[in-house]
A and B are shown apart, each in its own frame.
Chain A
Amino acid sequence: MTYRKESVRTHSAILPRTFSGLVLAGAAAGMIAAGPAGAKVEGDTIILGSANSLTGKYSSNGIDTQNGYDLAIKKINEMGGVTVGGKQYKLAVTYYDDESTPARTAQLLERLIEQDGVQYILGPYSSPTTIAAAPVVEKYKVPMVEAEGASRALFNKGYKYTFAVLSTSEQYLASAIGLAAEVAEKNGKKPSDVRVAMIFENDAFSQDVRAGVVEDMAKYDMQVILDDKMPSDLSDISASLTKVKALKPDLLVISGHNKGAVTAARQIKELQVEVPMIAMTHCEGAKVIDQFGASADGYLCPTQWAETLSYSDEYFGSAAEYDKLFKETYDGYTTVPYQAAQASAAVLVWKDALERANSLDPQKVRDALAATDMQTFYGQIKFSEAGNNIAKPMVLRQIQNGEYNVVAPSKWASHELVWPREAMY
Chain B
Amino acid sequence: MFDNLSLLTQLAPVLNVQLLLDGLFVGAVFVLAAYGLALVWGVMNVKNLAQGEYVIMGGYFAWHLGTFGIHPVLSLPLVFGLMFVFGWVVYLLVIKWVISRDLFTSLLATFGIALIVQQALNLAYGPEVRTAEAGFGTNRLFGGLVTVADIKLISFGLCILLAASVIVFMKKSRMGQAIRATAQDPRAAKIMGIDTEQVYAFTYALNAAICGAAGVIVSMIWVIQPFYGIPHSIRAFVIVTAAGLGNIPGVIIAGLGLGVAEQYSGFVLGLEFQQATALILLLLVLIWRQIQLAQHRQVVQ
Contact = CB atoms under 8 A, between A and B. Distances in A.
Say if A and B assemble together.
yes
A270 B149 contact: yes
Interface in A238-258: 238-240, 242-243, 245-247, 258
A235 B131 contact: no
A262 B223 CA distance: 8
B249 interface: no
B197 interface: no
Contacts, number: 100
A397 interface: no
Interface string B135-179: 000101000110101011000000000000000000000000000
B272 A202 contact: yes
A259 B223 contact: yes
Interface stretch (B15-23, B92-100, B285-293): B15-23
Of A202, A228, A229, A238, chain B has the most CB atoms within 10 Å of the CB of A238
A425 B147 CA distance: 11
B275 interface: yes
Contacts of B111: none
Given A243-B7, A245-B145, A272 B140 contact: yes
B223 A263 contact: yes
Interface stretch (B113-121, B198-206, B237-245, B263-271): B263-271
Contacts of A271: 18, 138, 147
A235 B266 contact: no
Contacts of A239: 19, 22, 263-264, 266-267, 271, 274
A236 B222 contact: yes
**Could you say which interface size class chain A belongs to?**
20 to 34
A266 B223 contact: yes
Contacts of B270: 228-229
A231 B271 contact: yes
A377 B26 CA distance: 49
Contact of B11 (A228, A246, A259, A266): A246
Contacts of B18: 242, 271
Contacts of A291: 131, 133
A272 B147 contact: yes
Nearest to B218: A235
Contact of A240 (B15, B225, B271): B271
B228 A233 contact: yes
Contact of A199 (B19, B128, B271): B271
B112 interface: no
A233 B231 CA distance: 8
B12 interface: yes
A294 to B, nearest CB: 12
Interface string B1-21: 000100100011001001100
Contacts of B267: 239-240, 242-243
Nearest to A292: B133
B77 interface: no
Nearest to A57: B127
Interface string A216-237: 0000000000001111111111
Contacts of B131: 262, 266, 291
B129 interface: yes
B144 to A, nearest CB: 6
Contacts of B19: 239, 242
A240 B270 CA distance: 8
Contact of A231 (B11, B12, B127, B272): B272
Given A229-B271, A232-B275, A270-B149, A246 B140 contact: no
Nearest to A235: B222
Contacts of B140: 272
Contact of A243 (B4, B147, B149): B4
Contacts of B22: 238-239, 242
B4 to A, nearest CB: 7
Contacts of B228: 233, 235
Given A240-B266, A266-B131, 15 more contacts: A228-B270, A228-B272, A229-B270, A232-B231, A233-B275, A236-B222, A238-B22, A239-B19, A243-B7, A246-B145, A262-B129, A269-B138, A270-B151, A271-B138, A272-B147
Interface of A: 57, 199, 202, 228-240, 242-243, 245-247, 258-259, 262-263, 266, 269-272, 274, 286, 291, 425
22 contacts: A199-B271, A229-B271, A230-B271, A231-B271, A231-B275, A232-B272, A233-B225, A233-B228, A235-B222, A235-B228, A236-B262, A239-B266, A240-B271, A245-B15, A246-B11, A259-B223, A259-B225, A263-B223, A271-B138, A271-B147, A272-B144, A286-B129
Interface of B: 4, 7, 11-12, 15, 18-19, 22, 26, 127-129, 131, 133, 138, 140, 144-145, 147, 149, 151-152, 222-223, 225, 228, 230-231, 262-264, 266-267, 270-272, 274-275
**Top-3 shortest CB links A-B:** A239-B266, A239-B267, A229-B272
